[in-house]
Amino acid sequence: MAKLIELRNVYKIYSEGLESEVRALDGVSLTIEKGEFVAIIGTNGSGKSTLAKHFNVLLTPTSGTFEVCGMRTDDPDNIWKIRQHVGMVFQNPDNQIVAAVVEEDVAFGPENLGVPSDEIKTRVSDALRRVNMTIYAKHGPHLLSGGQKQRVAIAGILAMQCDCIVLDEPTAMLDPVGRKEVMDTLHQLHDEGITIIIITHFMEEAVQADRVVVVDRAELKMDGAPRDVFTHVKELKAMGLDVPVAAELAERLRQKGLDLPDSIITEEELGDALCQLS
Ligand code: ADP
Ligand code: MG
């Protein structure tokens, strides 16, 4: 696999030198390969959004190096090239829509890049198809559900032909149906080869990733497959984090003396393990 993102010893300090100084990233090193599906978890204020904003150069490090596709983010010449690789989706679906019609909204990015109008049409219809929103192309975005709005935001990034999407708690304001729509879309795009980096406080979403990165008080504390991370129930709880319901329940049942494997993180696995007992 090819390297997409590489951070070496990144520090981000807000209000440096002032009394209100905050160290939001404290020596973070991390490599993300093309095609990965990474979930970033951590309690409020741990530095997740600060990290996310570095991926498409909304922020640059106070020190250390941050590279996207081999381009350093602190070189101003690289900003627009990097933003053609990495797109961002934020938490609030209503703050991201700029046009009065869905297809115009999706066209906004490529229009700003000066893409010819024929090609924009192709890109927009392709992007809407990939997020399963074709039938809403002519709709007003204000009539859409939160999950549909987030998928329009994702389509806007696809229309820019980005190969990486970073989403900062994209499902936090959605109902369970909207959350599932967005997660299903992300998995489908991942299958198509798009790199997905999602920040979430829903552990059931993080379990679906290939890799889970845990941020705690500005530092990267764990990094591994969901099964490696979520079986550390005690350590995660000590950081104030939840674990998937199945991992938690399995841990409690183990404490009660049930002989369950340490590897359980999904409800299906817990169900299977309980059936084997009886
Ligand atoms: P998270 O997304 O994990 O909740 P953030 O990255 O938003 O964490 O914040 C990390 C820390 O940096 C917090 O202490 C927060 O108050 C602080 N912070 C975030 N943005 C700014 C800013 N623009 N100016 C000063 N402090 C900030
Ligand atoms: Mg945040």
Q: Which two tokens stand for residue 74?
A: 């602190």
CA of 44 to the centre of ligand 1 (A): 9
Strand 219-224 versus strand 211-216 pairing type? antiparallel
Give mean pLDDT, residues 238-243. 94
What is the mean predicted confidence (pLDDT) over 128-137?
98
Q: Which ligand is nearest to the CA of 25?
A: 1
Chain segment 145-198, per-residue pLDDT in tens: 999 999 999 999 999 999 999 999 999 999 999 999 999 999 999 999 999 999
Whose C-alpha lies nearest to ligand 1, atom 12?
24
CB 14 near ligand 1, within 6 Å? yes
Q: What is the pLDDT of residues 86-114, one digit of tens each?
A: 999 999 999 888 899 999 999 999 999 89
- pLDDT recorded at residue 27: 98
Q: Which residues pair with 104 in a beta bridge?
A: none
Whether the CB of 45 sits within 6 Å of ligand 1: yes
Q: What is the mean pLDDT of residues 37-42?
A: 98
What's the start-to-end Cα distance of the chain, in Å? 44
- Report, as an integer, the average pLDDT of 38-48: 97
Measured by CA distance, the residue closest to atom 20 of ligand 1 is 50
Q: Does residue 127 carry a pLDDT above 80? A: yes
Nearest CA to ligand 1 atom 14: 45
Nearest CA to ligand 1 atom 10: 47
Mean pLDDT of the chain: 96
Between the CA of 164 and the centroid of ligand 1 the distance, in Å, is: 23
Confidence grade of residue 277 (pLDDT, cut at 50, 70, 90): confident
Residue 213 burial by CB count (10 A; 0-12/13-18/19+): exposed, middle or buried? buried
Q: Which residue has the tokens 């959605």?
A: 174
Q: Would the CB of 20 count as within 6 Å of ligand 1?
A: no
Neighbour-count burial for 34-57, b at 16+ CB within 10 Å, e otherwise = bbbbbbbbbeeebbbbbbbbbbbb
| The pair of three-digit structure tokens given for residue 59, joined into one six-digit string | 């922020």
159 Cα–ligand 1 center, Å: 30
**Is 62 within 8 Å of 218 (Cβ atoms)?**
no
Phi, psi (deg, nearest 5) at residue 192 = -80, -5
pTM score: 0.96
Closest listed residue to residue 214, CA positions, set 62, 184, 225, 1: 225
Q: How, if at all, do strands 86-89 and 71-72 pair?
A: unpaired
d(CA 173, ligand 1 centre) in Å:
19
The atom of ligand 1 lying closest to the CA of 199 is: 2
- Residue 11 Cβ < 6 Å to ligand 1: no
For 197-235, the pLDDT digits (tens) are 999 999 999 999 999 999 999 999 999 999 999 999 989
Report the pLDDT averaged over residues 110-132. Answer: 96
Ligand nearest to the CA of 51: 1
